Amino acid sequence: MTSQHRTRRKKRDLHFLDSEGRVACNPRDREAAHRAEVEGIATETRSAVTCKKCLDAMRSTEPIE
Ligand SMILES: [Zn+2]
């Protein structure tokens, strides 16, 4: 992976951090979860999440009644 635009950052999405400390859109990547946490772009508040992948993941794991 190459990063040509290190200083240029897109608007950050807020990812959902689950109770096990993993991001919902990338549950297998603990590194990503850690990074998101450190950078303050992870939240445990469902309503605050803006990452579309996380929202999708949350929806699919949410118990349907
Ligand atoms: Zn996400």
- Which pLDDT does position 65 carry in this prediction? 65
Q: Give the pTM.
A: 0.73
Structural domain of residue 19, as residue ranges?
15-60
Expressed in angstroms and rounded, the spacing between residue 58 Cα and the centre of ligand 1 is 10
Expressed in angstroms and rounded, the spacing between residue 20 Cα and the centre of ligand 1 is 15
- 9 belongs to a structural domain: no
Q: Residue 28: phi, psi to the nearest 5?
A: -90, -10
- Which pLDDT does position 62 carry in this prediction? 58
- 55 belongs to a structural domain: yes
Expressed in angstroms and rounded, the spacing between residue 17 Cα and the centre of ligand 1 is 9
- 2 belongs to a structural domain: no
Into how many domains does the chain fold?
Answer: 1
- 4 belongs to a structural domain: no
- 7 belongs to a structural domain: no
Query: Splitting the chain (65 residues) into consecutive groups of 10 residues, what average pLDDT does each group show?
Result: 60 91 94 94 95 92 62
Expressed in angstroms and rounded, the spacing between residue 55 Cα and the centre of ligand 1 is 8
What single DSSP character describes residue 43?
E
- Which pLDDT does position 9 carry in this prediction? 58
* 49 and 33 Cβ atoms separated by less than 8 Å: no
Expressed in angstroms and rounded, the spacing between residue 4 Cα and the centre of ligand 1 is 22
- Which pLDDT does position 29 carry in this prediction? 94
- Which pLDDT does position 7 carry in this prediction? 55
